[in-house]
Amino acid sequence: MNVTQLSAFVANKPGHLQRVLKVLADENINIITLTIAETSDFGILRMIVNDPEKGYRVLKENNITCSTTDVLAIEIDDRPGSLYKALDAFAKMNLNIEYMYAFTEKREGKAVMIFRFEDIEAAKKALIDSGYNIVRKIDIIGENK
Amino acid sequence: MFNKEIETMPEKKMKELQLERLKWSVRHAYDNVPFYKKKFDEAGFHPDQLKSLDDMRRIPFLTKQDMRDHYPYGLFAVPLSKVVRVHASSGTTGNATVVGYTKNDIEVFSEVVARSLASYGVTEKDIIQVAYGYGLFTGGLGLHYGSEKLGALTVPISGGNTPRQLMLIKDFGTTVIACTPSYALNIADYIEKNMPDFKIEETRLRIGVFGAEPWTEAMRQEIEKRLKIDAYDIYGLSEVIGPGVSCECSEKSGLHVFEDHFYVEIIDPETGEVLPEGEKGEIVYTSLTKEAFPGIRYRSRDITRLYHDSCKCGRTLVKMEKVTGRSDDMLIIRGVNVFPSQVEAVLMEVPGIEPHYQIIVDRKGSMDDIEVMVEVNEKVFSDEIKVLNNLTKHITDRFRSILGISAKITLVEPQTIPRSEGKAVRVIDRRKLS
């Protein structure tokens, strides 16, 4: 049910993000969605890729500091106010979001967002109990893994 | 001149005085500090063999490491009941060097600082704001006692708090400020940025006494122009006594060494051979009068040159060039001594951090900036910014509490720090001091 996110440490300098992307491109790894959290010195590139284990391996082989983390992909209605409603529900359940980002494509009329919760297991339980649909890994990254 | 007899003593007479005092000092160390006895015995040297200044070269050197090895009181030559003060250099506990002073030593320390102040034209009519840090560092208390010895009004404000420094300069009618040269420029920057109405030329400030870190002629000119003062160099090191080992005079060219208390030699840092007067090398100090902490042939690691030039100020004391280089890797950052090995020790305390780091020292505007680049490996990496920010904050805090410096910690990618022939380039000093 959890989706594996691949994160990489990237210096905030020209050419550095490109270098990471080239490694993934050369290994035929597809990025499904990504986000970057930046500071003045560095950024953290967070990606959902079609093969996170291979992605992790090839980045490591190329001396790029990286890690994998479990995140949740959650379906949200694609209507004004629905993200607000979802966050309101999470807050009431006392679930702390570390960060979140969205998919570019809709899935059966709904938006899919990636959430990194402080406590993923607690979040999962609470979300299912309140009727949110957590998208399965296979539905996100496809069949090949 | 504060002590005309000494400061204008003919060279030959000074050498006689030095030899007489050296005989006492070398014997004092040999008789009262087991370390010296052992070291001299091993080198086949006995104090009775000291017949001329030339015999000094037979005595083995004292190093900073020897001082660390005998932390804290192992090199004191008098009982602790006779010691009235200690000072210590910055560093982790194991690395600190502790020096002690008897009442007489404090008297000598005050005298050489008073002489220095007098050589800049400071008199008892002056008001001296001591903006060096007060504490284990010799700068604050050293200048304080010297200023009182001279009879000047002494304002013990200590370092930092620039708005308050400026307020006192104005309200107290301060005529002399003593601080690090980089702090002087910091004051000038502060006025420019935050107090455009503050007219430094309308204050009574006229002289700056600057030391504790290397500085260039260019910096002198900048300080003099911006603060509208005469800027003078005061040199010293705690291992020898503190500030007041040597000082500039009205000529602002070279520093007169107070040879009646400190015997100086220049050696080749590679071979340890004594070099003739005029040649550049590492300056080595021997104390002539110190009781609590005699230093016999202390290798300072400071690079300079000694010369006599019949100085226009009338002093006959030997002169040394402004020190701008070191024969080891010690960095002086805003007056604080930092060895790369100490930086490494702090980093190594942080779980997961690897010893791949680089220190970049720069002088941006007026203050020395130290940046430490640390490679981020998988053990410390996180997908959360806050975890990495906490890491840099933690390292920054450790640097502040252990080394007493504010360093900027920059996390960099693995393999970013150049490794040349298997050995990393640890320090890049961009201050261009020499």
Q: Does one domain contain both A61 and A77?
A: no
User: Which residues in B lie closer than 8 A to residue A36 (C-beta atoms)?
Assistant: none
**In this predicted structure, which of A16-20, B348-352, B423-427 has the lowest mean pLDDT?**
B423-427
A145: in domain: no
Interface check for B161 against chain A (CB to CB < 8 A): the answer is no
Two tokens at A29?
Answer: 């790894």
A97 Cβ under 8 Å from any chain B Cβ: no
Residues in Cβ contact with B48 at an 8 Å cutoff, skipping those fewer than 6 apart:
none
Is the pLDDT confidence value at B11 over 90? yes
Please check whether residue B69 is in contact with residue B48, taking contact to mean a CB–CB distance below 8 angstroms. no
Residue A41 and residue A91 in one domain: no
Query: Can you give the pLDDT at residue A116?
Result: 94
* Distance to chain B for A130, nearest Cα, Å: 27
| pLDDT of res. B76 | 98
Q: What is the CATH number of the domain that holds A43?
A: 3.30.2130.10
Contacts with B384 from chain A: Cβ below 8 Å: 44, 98-99, 116
Chain B residues whose beta carbon lies within 8 Å of the beta carbon of residue A16: 413
| Predicted pLDDT at B216 | 80
Task: Let me know whether A49 and A81 are in one domain.
Answer: no
DSSP annotation of A111: E
Taking the CA of residue B329 and the nearest CA in chain A, the distance in Å comes to 27
Q: Is any Cβ of chain A less than 8 angstroms from the Cβ of B416?
A: yes
The segment(s) of chain B belonging to CATH 3.30.300.30 are: 333-429
Say if A40 falls within a structural domain: yes
pLDDT beyond 50 at A2: yes
Res. B201: pLDDT tops 90: yes
Chain A residues touching B356 at Cβ < 8 A: none
ipTM summary value: 0.85
Mean of the per-residue pLDDT values of chain A:
90
- Cβ distance of B376 and A42 shorter than 8 Å: yes
Task: Assess contact for B328 and B95: CB atoms under 8 A.
Answer: no
Interface with chain A: mutation pick from B383, B389, B391, B408, highest number of A CBs within 10 Å = B383
**Statement: residue B30 has pLDDT above 90:** yes
CB pair distance less than 8 Å for B413 and A65 = yes
The overall average pLDDT reported for chain B is 92
List the single range of A135-139, B108-112, B172-176 with lowest mean pLDDT.
A135-139
> Is it the case that residue B92 has pLDDT exceeding 50?
no
Residue A112 lies in a domain: yes
CA distance B195 to chain A (A): 30
Instruction: State yes or no: pLDDT of B429 exceeds 90.
Output: no
Threshold 0.80, pTM exceeds? no
Residues A103, A125, single domain; the answer is yes
Are A20 and A39 contained in the same domain? yes
- DSSP assignment of B274-341: BPPTT-EEEEEEEESS-SSS--SSEEEEEEEEEE----TT---S-EEPPP-EESSS-EEETTEEE-HH
The alpha carbon of residue A122 is apart from the nearest alpha carbon of chain B, in Å, by: 19
Q: Rounded to a whole number, what is the distance in Å from the CA of A11 to chain B's nearest CA?
A: 6
| Percent of chain A residues topping a pLDDT of 70 | 98
Alpha helix stretches (DSSP H) within B153-308: 162-172, 181-194, 217-227
Of A69, A87, A113, which one is at a domain's C-terminal end?
A: A69
Among partner residues A39, A64, A65, which is closest to B385 by beta-carbon distance?
A39
Tens-digit pLDDT profile for residues B58-84: 999 999 999 999 999 999 999 999 999
**Does some domain include residue A96?**
yes
Pairwise CA distance, residues B124 & B148, whole Å: 9
Q: What is the pLDDT of residue B69?
A: 92
Q: What percent of chain B has pLDDT over 90?
A: 73
Are A85 and A133 in a shared domain? yes
Query: Which domain-ending residue is among A69, A92, A120?
Result: A69
pLDDT for B402: 82
Q: Measured between beta carbons, which residues in chain B are less than 8 angstroms from residue A64?
A: 413-414
A97 within some domain: yes
A38 lies in some domain: yes
Mean pLDDT over A116-129 rounds to 89
Q: What is the total count of domains within chain A?
A: 2
**Interface check A64 vs B, CB under 8 A:** yes
Q: Is the pLDDT of residue B91 over 60?
A: no
Asked if A63 is an interface residue toward chain B (Cβ–Cβ < 8 A), one would say yes
Query: What band does B420 get if pLDDT is binned at 50, 70 and 90?
Result: low
Domain that holds residue A131: 70-140
Q: Which residue has the higher pLDDT, A67 or B216?
A: A67
Half-sphere exposure of B382 (CA within 13 A, CB side): 14
Contact list in A for residue B413 (CB cut-off 8 A) is: 9-11, 16, 42, 63-65
Q: Say how far apart CA B279 and CA B293 lie, in whole Å.
A: 29
Residue B87 confidence class, pLDDT cut points 50, 70, 90: very high
CATH number where A130 lies? 3.30.70.260
Does one domain contain both A44 and A105?
no
Is B410 near chain A, with CB under 8 Å? yes
* Chain B residues with CB-CB distance to A60 below 8 A: 378
A37 touches B: beta carbon within 8 Å: yes
Residues A62 and A98 in one domain: no
A131/A120 same-domain check:
yes
Question: Does position B419 have pLDDT exceeding 70, yes or no?
Answer: no
Q: Which of residues 362-401 of B touch A (CB under 8 A)?
A: 376-378, 381-386, 388-389
Q: What is the third-level CATH fold of B80-328? A: Rossmann fold (3.40.50)
Superfamily name and number for B333-429: ANL, C-terminal domain (3.30.300.30)
Identify the pLDDT of residue B93: 44
Chain A neighbors of B381, CB-CB under 8 A: 7, 9, 65-67
The boundaries of every CATH 3.40.50.12780 domain in chain B are: 80-328
Q: Looking at per-residue confidence, does A4 or A93 come out higher?
A: A4
Are A131 and A95 within one domain?
Answer: yes
At residue A144, the pLDDT reads 53
Q: How confident is residue B424, by pLDDT bands cut at 50, 70 and 90?
A: low
pLDDT for res A145 = 47
Domain end (from A36, A69, A102): A69
Q: Which of A10, A42, A63 sits opposite B415 (nearest CB)?
A: A63
| B1-14 mean pLDDT | 97
What is the reported pLDDT for B433?
62
Asked whether the beta carbons of residue B413 and residue A98 sit closer than 8 angstroms, the reply is no
Domain-embedded: residue A23: yes
Q: What DSSP line would sit under B77-102, residue for residue?
A: -S-GGGEEEEEE-SS-GGG--EEEEE
Contact across the interface for A67 and B376, Cβ inside 8 Å: no
Please tell me whether residues A63 and A112 are part of one structural domain. Answer: no
- Tell me what the mean pLDDT of segment B235-256 comes to: 96
What are the b/e assignments for B321-352, b being 16+ CB within 10 Å? Answer: ebbbebbeebbbbbbbbbbbebbebbbeeeee
The average pLDDT across B357-382 equals 87
d(CA B183, CA B162): 9
Q: Which of A9, A37, A60 sits opposite B376 (nearest CB)?
A: A9
* Residue A58 within any structural domain of the chain: yes
Residue B364 or residue B82, greater confidence: B82
Model confidence at A139, pLDDT cuts 50, 70, 90, reads confident
Instruction: Indicate whether A49 and A96 sit together in one domain.
Output: no
